[in-house]
Structure 1
Amino acid sequence: MGSVKDLVVLKEPSEKPGLGRFIFSNRYSVFDYGEMPDKIEDKGRALCMVTAHFFEKLEEAGIATHYLGLVEGGKVRRFDEVENAVNEMEVKLVRVIKPKNGDYSIFKTLKGNFLVPLEIIYRNSIPEGSSLLRRIERGEAKPEDFGLTKIEAGMRLERPIVDFSTKLEDVDRYLSHPEAKEISGLSDGEFEALKELVVKVDEIITREVSKVGLINEDGKIEVALDDERNLIVVDAVGTPDECRFSFDGFEVSKELLRKYYRKTEWYGKVRELKGQEGWREAVGSPPPLPAEIREGVSNLYRAFCNEVTGRKFFDAPKLKEVVSQLKEVLE
């Protein structure tokens, strides 16, 4: 299905939901490159369990999702019913319809059961290295677009900013709210409900991770319209791949891997060529991760899963110890 998850289709989706299973892998991807050369041990199982945990928390709050359960021993079970961490999840499937040559007009004709072609982003703070800062520097966005008079590194926001990017293009690009609404195929009311939904999801993630000392800096969700045009949360949610968390001021997310690669010659080629035709082949193979970083990030996923879900699925050090070890290696 993608660079980090596989999809088994049990029943094809149409205007009615299909049925499928996500297989969460140990692969990872950065900078839209695709599959990287290393595997992060236990990453797939950790992300699967965290996603299930959050999907069930969303359901408790009355938020609809496409989640049906975890697959253990060939049976579909709820989070509390599984004995061990698994990497397989059963979900309702919606149609994924890609725009042709940038033409999104088809989304205005669809009745339901399709992926909204947006990544919906919430921002609770503006950490160093935020893409929003770079967009403001380049004049692609301004604070007033988000109801603010200034946006600067290190800001904690009183209310979350809602931001949008494309989801189904070769390289994601950020969108203004009018652009996002235009390509989404949503009505005015549906688009407002979408913005309210991401804030509710943000609040639930923030509440859950704060219990173990994590700060929810920003994150993204994906949303679909079901066959009755109700908004539902899909894909994965609340993981270090979808969100940027911090612990004692240290990054707890996939951003750690991006930071490592930004110091390499390979990333220089990515910056130069990304978006051009055949850019992935042109930049060549990324260098492998050093063993201590690979193992440290693996432990980060394990510890995050143990502590956020409240179940010790993995034999891993405490999150505080993992963060301390990674600080020594990376800083």
Structure 2
Amino acid sequence: MIEFRSIIFVTYAGAELLDLAGPSAVFSTANRVAGKTLYKIVVATPRSGQVSHSCGIALSAVPFGEIDLGAHDTVLIVGADARPLAVAMADAELRSFLRSAILKAERLGSICTGAFILAAAGLLDGKTVATHWSATAQLGEMFPSVHCDVDALYVSDGQLWTSAGVSTGIDMALAIVGSDHGSALKAEVARQLVVYSHRPGHQSQFSNLLAAQAKEDERFVGLTTWLRESTESLISVEQMADHVGMSPRTFHRRFVESFKQTPAKFFEAVRLDAARNLLEARQSVANVARKAGFQSESAFRASFKARFGVTPQLYRETWHRR
């Protein structure tokens, strides 16, 4: 029987502290809830000394030379903004440690843009991964053999676990706790942290991606505003094309180029995002379905659950228990 598992967070100068603090809180809370040490948390770095993070907070970390990787260890590398990330990707000692982890540890994973460092170490070739929504295109361009799931909060692909932007590391850590010790402990840890106990890995990264991609073409900024103001209506692709002054064929092609999805899928995402906001405002499911432009409550429930992994009613109830 395994006495405990080590969770080794790999950090470096300029890394995002929340990538480390959020998931580590999940594992430490699991220890407290269980009343025993299920996880030993270690912060590791290539060289000895304190590591200053993006917010200016410095942490003491154990140098790689003092880490003895074992078969029940999980190694998670955190992300960062472009400049410190590039330095970390070029660090030969860091890449070497990660390559040894894939051979020795139970799991190897990344949080947010930490996936770039795994890819730089050659560990993601042919794998499906998640990373921050703003970095998915760049990851694909830099590492064509890596498949990035743009809609995933986290991805478990065999031994490799990768999560999307920042706070989704908490979702992935909860999934790891559930895998190791069952759903009851996972749910109680989530309750203690006042977070959702079950946001499936393939729940979308919500609306941030939509807003960011809209900046790529100024004509689409006005379109997305119009769509958000028209969620009760059934708007066709032809109407969207007319709104931006393009032929339907040209509009569809340029829209897919900018948003990486069809206009119809985008509008459904806008409607469902609006529905989320209405549910958070305590409106009834029936009223939300109507205001989000769905022909029936059953169609709304099916679409909402497919996108967010929970029913509208459960989402509403969970939100107001927080």
- State the TM-score, normalizing by the size of structure 1: 0.26
Higher relative contact order at CA 8 Å, sep ≥6: structure 1 or structure 2? 1
Greater per-residue helix proportion? 2
- State the TM-score, normalizing by the size of structure 2: 0.26
- The higher radius of gyration belongs to 2
